[in-house]
Amino acid sequence: MRLSQLFTKTSKTSPADEEARNAILLIQAGFIHKEMAGVYAYLPLGLRVLENIKQIVREEMDAVGGQELMMTTLQPRELWEKTNRWDDKIVDNWFKTKLASGIELGVGLTHEEPIVDALSSYISSYKDLPVTVYQIQNKFRNEKRAKSGLLRGREFVMKDMYTFARTQAEHDELYEQIAAAYSRVYSRLGIGDVTYRTAADGGYFTERFSDEYQTVSPIGEDTIYVDETKKIAINQEIYTDENLEKLGLNKADLVEKKSVEVGNIFPLESKYTDALGVQYTDDSGKKQSIIMGCYGIGISRLVGMLAEHFADDKGLVWPEAIAPAKVYLARLGIDEDVVKAADELYNSLQGAGIEVLYDDREDARPGEKFADADLMGIPYRVVISTKTVAAGTYELKHRTAADAEHVSHARLEEILHTVEASA
Ligand code: ATP
Ligand code: MG
């Protein structure tokens, strides 16, 4: 991508109507556009980050047998009445709308009911199970406070997965496989070391715990107690002597931390499947309940969380796996040799599948180009100028390094072709 063509521009001034650092940085870097509180559009560079996160999640969900689908945003009222979740007194953050005829509709805030309904056409026998399906799509919630930038949106992107099993034991196995996939997702995103599987409330209909994935952060809304040795935590909401004992945790080993919920997995038993009358016939012809689980990841919350976590006083510092490009190629000047060398490197890197932001702008000073490379958080910056062309080298700097180094073409290709190991 050539910056001379990119319609977004960086901004030196912080947006007046934002308090959250993640939104401030992402707006200044031209990654997102604030439509209104809690509602953000993704511009080309922000969309790349979002898509990179989705792709990692998709690969890990596919690896545990997830089948991707896409559900609808418009929801029929009757479906939600069957499980008693339509009433605003029960679920208080619905957005609702109406057909021209006056018939009320819900605007999808979660998808347990519609998924069970869709699968009911295909699941009747024990031979049809187990099934794991997932989707990545926008959810709409009328959140009371939307002050944390992308962390709490009224319209936001979520990955939600659902499992359907024949027995509790079969469910438990799927649940643990998916928990392991969740750990891999957070490691690949570079926050594995600060993200804890956290025992949390399972809801009123089950004695079981749910598991939240909580990333330790000073901006977190949640409080958790972490056992650093066991690498697990317990949410303050269920922090009782009885629960500590059930989880085999000792008060003395726990450290209190603020955290952000980046994912959540839930045993649903047969609450929704039974309520919607979806069951299967076992091998002796008897009707049995289907055991369900649901598994969420806050995709857009992660964009905000990662922006917040990987940043310094100059701007964003993306890990390679999610950066909108691997290389920021800054061309200084318009000398024929410089343009030729920069164009050649751009073409050869792009040809090798390495994503490059090519700063070919003629009207930007070197200092502006360097500041933009830093603000956008691109992992590697390569400078081509009359000096580097004369010396036959390239100036290379990692976003987190203090100084640049001068390298040969061979060495440059070697470094840029290396895939960064994930945390
Ligand atoms: P929270 O406790 O933060 O309100 P939740 O428990 O309601 O979230 P789920 O319904 O389980 O969340 O949604 C799955 C995941 O979606 C959450 O773990 C979180 O990462 C993300 N998420 C939930 N609500 C929002 C929101 N308003 N904006 C952005 N992401 C969200
Ligand atoms: Mg929660």
- State in Å: Cα 305 to ligand 1 middle: 13
Reported as a single tens digit per residue, the pLDDT across 290-322 is: 999 999 999 999 999 999 999 999 999 999 999
Reported as a single tens digit per residue, the pLDDT across 81-116 is: 999 999 999 999 999 999 999 999 999 999 999 999
Residue nearest to atom 31 of ligand 1 (CA): 298
Nearest Cα to 158, choosing from 226, 73, 79, 90? 73
Q: CATH class for domain 327-422?
A: alpha beta
- State in Å: Cα 313 to ligand 1 middle: 29
Nearest bound ligand to the CA of residue 298: 1
> Quick one: which H or E segment has residue 239?
none
Say which amino acid occupies 163.
T
pLDDT computed for residue 101 by the predictor: 98
Reported as a single tens digit per residue, the pLDDT across 211-268 is: 999 999 999 999 999 999 999 999 999 999 999 999 999 999 999 999 999 999 999 9
Q: With a cut of 80, say whether residue 158 has pLDDT above it.
A: yes
Let me know: does 200 contact 211? Beta carbons within 8 Å. yes
User: Domain-by-domain residue ranges, the chain?
Assistant: 8-312, 327-422
CATH architecture of 8-312: 2-Layer Sandwich (3.30)
Task: Report DSSP letters for 2-50, one per residue.
Answer: BTTT------SSPPTT---HHHHHHHHTTSEEEEETTEEEE-HHHHHHH
Tokens of 8: 């977004």
Which ligand 1 atom is the nearest neighbour of the CA of 264? 18
Tokens of 325: 């490009």
pTM over 0.85: yes
Residue nearest to atom 14 of ligand 1 (CA): 296
